Chain A
């Protein structure tokens, strides 16, 4: 599903060059659930952003579901993100003035699905997250766990091939964290969606099939859980 080789990324700020990724090779099969660990500044988030086509890499090759990701214009990148990828963020990133259902429906809005239809689908996904009664609440009326479940529903609604989660439990307490992980594991198992989870919590990483450790821009360890 994901096939990257020799990925390099350097950030240039003024006169400073920061070589963040120094040649990453990684193969993720369809349906795999992988966690990425590493100290802050190790490059794990950068890797996730490149995989999410939110950022571009300097060297190397990236194949997403067989499509070569290289020199894409923003329009093409947006369409690929919409079609193949679902994002779950640490800070949820819900749109504040849209209610839960509208937030979930957002990816379908960008696919020009009619409002009525996409809201109906959104309700389905919210129902699966156990949030049907909260569909018409604004994000600031929801708890952290609820927000993350809305965000997961939003990531799922576009039927992505890969879900990229950047510290999905970073802002949640341990009980809620486990609930969110339950959901993610379920989705991985039942819908065969490939999943990459960046985390620094060991008990979160243990719930995935494989843990990749990144140190100073290189993969140093791959552990099967």
Chain B
């Protein structure tokens, strides 16, 4: 099998007509190269878009209050209502499918009035009152300090966790923000943590301009009573969040005297549905890439088969000599199949390497320039996919060699010997 004579023969055959060998190899090379590039690009696109979700639990739903649109129980339509702290317990009791339930409040000022001041510096930021559980639903990268904890909630501590952009605008470059005070709507808060968003692009810059403070502190300090801004809820693993969404809306409608038929009163956004749409889209892209890629590869392999037929034809006499000297059909067949496999595997491996190399280069350029990461990030292919592709190549090479090999031994030895 690994006798030097076999490889000498392969070398001779492939060398004999270099241009032809090159063109044949190029067919396979191009097939696998395109497959790698397309899969890598699909992956890059997916990574880019996925990154906009950060590490956020995708099985989550947002529910907020709007104005009623149907008169009910003596209330006129157009009524503005608010969720209350009591709703949190009610929801938790009524819906066992809930995993995390995070009520949130917010204080405006985002992109608008300067509501946060430190010394001579000021800025307008979005301010949220949050429970610690929020960090389990939409985690951030904590660069320094900590996130809101239970004691903050209990003691209504005036502490704040700020985004990196907030730090940039309110602090000096080398200043440590931890344990410093910032003034939010006239009230001083102690900075206990600083975070950076896990998202990219615009979503990230929005995140980085946020300030989180304890939920209870926010309600009390800014005179909100027990009003809740909105709920962020996730479902238990394996349960579609739509189940939780529907139940939560029913519970909330009942508690706030909203007509069951009133669809406008309660605003809600199901992230899972959006996420699934996206996953479906990328699955479609992946299927397309495989179909096109395998098709291209297949064309290359057919080229190999074709050339092997020509090679076998050219070498008819030589094969005849070998058979006269005692080469069994299996020796001839395995020789030709080995040639075919070597040709496809080498050119395919080259295509694979070059494809991965190009993806790495794009990756490097994207990262070093920082451009376009919002839609395209970390293009690349799995190691397992590369192994599968190589396995396909070896099998395809063997299949490509099979027909020519059978043709080579189907000729009677004497006819092969006489062939000129």
- A residues with CB within 8 A of B: 49, 52, 54-55, 74-75, 77-79, 81-83, 87, 89, 93-98, 102, 106-107, 109-111, 115, 154, 158
Contact = CB atoms under 8 A, between A and B. Distances in A.
Contacts of A79: 326, 328
Interface of B: 3-5, 8-9, 12, 317-318, 321-331, 409, 412-414, 417
A212 to B, nearest CB: 20
Given A49-B414, A55-B412, A98 B325 contact: no
Given A54-B324, A74-B328, A102-B5, 11 more contacts: A74-B323, A75-B329, A78-B326, A79-B326, A81-B326, A83-B326, A97-B8, A98-B8, A106-B322, A110-B322, A115-B3
Nearest to B412: A55
A27 B83 CA distance: 113
Contacts of B9: 97
Contact of A54 (B4, B317, B322, B412): B412
B12 A109 contact: no
21 contacts: A52-B324, A54-B412, A54-B413, A54-B417, A75-B329, A78-B327, A78-B328, A82-B326, A83-B326, A89-B417, A95-B322, A98-B8, A106-B322, A109-B3, A109-B5, A110-B326, A110-B328, A111-B326, A115-B4, A158-B325, A158-B326
A78 B412 contact: no
A86 to B, nearest CB: 9
A97 B12 contact: yes
B325 A55 contact: no
B409 A106 contact: no
Contact of B326 (A49, A93, A95, A107): A107
Given A97-B12, A110-B331, A81 B325 contact: yes
A49 B8 CA distance: 30
Contacts of A78: 323, 326-329
A81 B413 CA distance: 11
Rank and list the top 7 A-B pairs by shortest CB-CB distance, nearest first: A82-B326, A54-B414, A97-B12, A110-B326, A78-B328, A55-B414, A54-B413
A94 B317 CA distance: 10
A97 B16 CA distance: 10
A200 B176 CA distance: 107
Contacts of A54: 324, 412-414, 417
A110 B3 contact: no
Nearest to A50: B414
Interface core residue of B4, B9, B317, B414 (most chain A CB under 10 Å): B414
B325 A106 contact: yes
A110 B414 contact: no
B329 A74 contact: yes
A74 B320 CA distance: 12
A89 B417 CA distance: 10
A49 B413 CA distance: 10
A93 B321 contact: yes
A87 B414 contact: no
Contact of A82 (B325, B329, B417): B325
B12 A87 contact: no
Interface core residue of A78, A83, A97, A102 (most chain B CB under 10 Å): A78
B315 to A, nearest CB: 10
Nearest to A92: B321
Given A54-B412, A74-B409, A97-B12, A87 B329 contact: no
A110 B327 contact: yes
A98 B327 CA distance: 16
Contacts of B414: 49, 54-55
A113 to B, nearest CB: 10
Contacts of A106: 322, 325
Contacts of A158: 325-326
Nearest to A107: B325
B412 A110 contact: no
B16 to A, nearest CB: 8
A87 B322 CA distance: 11
Contacts of B3: 109, 115
A203 B60 CA distance: 102
Contacts of B413: 54-55, 77
Nearest to B16: A97
B324 A87 contact: yes
A179 B373 CA distance: 82
Interface core residue of B8, B9, B331, B417 (most chain A CB under 10 Å): B417
Contacts of B8: 97-98, 102
